Structure 1
Amino acid sequence: MSKQLPMPVEPEDASGQRAGRRTTVRYLQNEAVPRAVRKVLGNALRLSRESARLSLGESAGRLGVSSSKLSRIESGTNSPKERDLPRFFETYGITTPQEQDNLRELAAAAHRPNWWQPWSAVTPKYLQAVVSFEDMACRVRSFEPTYLHGLLQTPEYARALIERGRGPANTYDELVRFRTARQKQFTSADKKLFCIVDETTLARPVGSSAIMRGQLQHLIDLTSHSRIQLRLAPLYDFDVHVELGPTTIFDFAGRLLPTIVFTEAYDGGLVIEDEEMVDRRVKAFDELAARSLDSHAMRRRLQHLMTRYR
Structure 2
Amino acid sequence: MSKQLPVPAELEEASGQRARRRGAVRYLQNEAAPCAERMMLGYALRLRREATGLSAHEAARRLGGSPSKVSRIESGTISPKEGDLSKFFLMYGITDPEEQDRLRELLEAASKTAWWQPWAAVAPKYLQAVVSFEDMAIGVRSYDPIYLHGLLQTPEYARALIKRGRGSAATHATLAEFRAKRQERFAAASDKKLLCIVDEATLARPVGSAAIMHDQLEHLIELTYDSRVRLRLAPLYDYRVHVELGSATIFDFAGRLPTISFAEGYDGGLVIEDEQMVDRRVKAFDALATNSLEPHAMRRRLKAMLATSRY
Query: Would you say same fold, with TM above 0.5?
Result: yes
CA apart distance, 1:100: 1.8
- Partner letter of residue 35 of structure 2? R
For residues 231-256 of structure 1, the C-alpha deviation after alignment (integer angstroms, 9 at most, x for no partner) is 10011111111001011111112x21
The corresponding residue for 1:239 is 240
Q: Does 1:268 align with 2:249?
A: no
CA contact 1:33–1:77 (8 Å) conserved in 2: no
User: TM-score, normalising length from structure 2?
Assistant: 0.89
CA apart distance, 1:88: 1.7
For residues 25-80 of structure 1, the C-alpha deviation after alignment (integer angstroms, 9 at most, x for no partner) is 22211112321111110101111222232222332232223333322221112112
CA contact 2:23–2:75 (8 Å) conserved in 1: no
The corresponding residue for 1:3 is none
Unaligned runs of 5+ in 2: 1-19
CA apart distance, 1:227: 0.8
Q: Does 1:159 align with 2:159?
A: yes
Unaligned runs of 5+ in 1: 1-19
CA contact 1:233–1:292 (8 Å) conserved in 2: yes
CA apart distance, 1:305: 1.9
Matches within 5 A, 1:1-310: 22-190=22-190, 191-253=192-254, 255-306=255-306, 307-310=308-311
Q: Aligned to 2:189, what secondary structure does the other structure show? A: coil
For residues 113-150 of structure 1, the C-alpha deviation after alignment (integer angstroms, 9 at most, x for no partner) is 22211111111111111111111111111111010000
Taking the aligned partners of 1:21 and 1:56, their CA distance within structure 2 comes to 15
Q: Aligned to 1:249, what secondary structure does the other structure show? A: strand
Taking the aligned partners of 1:44 and 1:130, their CA distance within structure 2 comes to 21
The corresponding residue for 1:17 is none
Taking the aligned partners of 1:186 and 1:270, their CA distance within structure 2 comes to 23
User: TM-score, normalising length from structure 1?
Assistant: 0.89
CA apart distance, 1:280: 1.2
Taking the aligned partners of 1:63 and 1:309, their CA distance within structure 2 comes to 66
CA apart distance, 1:304: 2.1
Root-mean-square deviation (Å): 1.5
For residues 137-196 of structure 1, the C-alpha deviation after alignment (integer angstroms, 9 at most, x for no partner) is 111111110100000001111111111012333211110010000011011102111000
CA apart distance, 1:24: 2.6
- Identity over the aligned pairs, expressed in percent? 69
CA contact 2:139–2:253 (8 Å) conserved in 1: yes
Q: Aligned to 2:290, what secondary structure does the other structure show? A: helix
CA apart distance, 1:206: 0.6
Q: Aligned to 1:309, what secondary structure does the other structure show? A: coil
For residues 290-309 of structure 1, the C-alpha deviation after alignment (integer angstroms, 9 at most, x for no partner) is 11111111111112222423
Taking the aligned partners of 2:30 and 2:68, their CA distance within structure 1 comes to 19
Taking the aligned partners of 1:81 and 1:116, their CA distance within structure 2 comes to 24
- Partner letter of residue 199 of structure 1? E
- Partner letter of residue 106 of structure 1? L
CA apart distance, 1:279: 1.4
CA apart distance, 1:21: 5.9
Taking the aligned partners of 2:33 and 2:74, their CA distance within structure 1 comes to 12
The count of residues paired between Structure 1 and Structure 2 equals 290
Taking the aligned partners of 2:32 and 2:138, their CA distance within structure 1 comes to 25
The corresponding residue for 2:17 is none
CA contact 1:32–1:77 (8 Å) conserved in 2: no
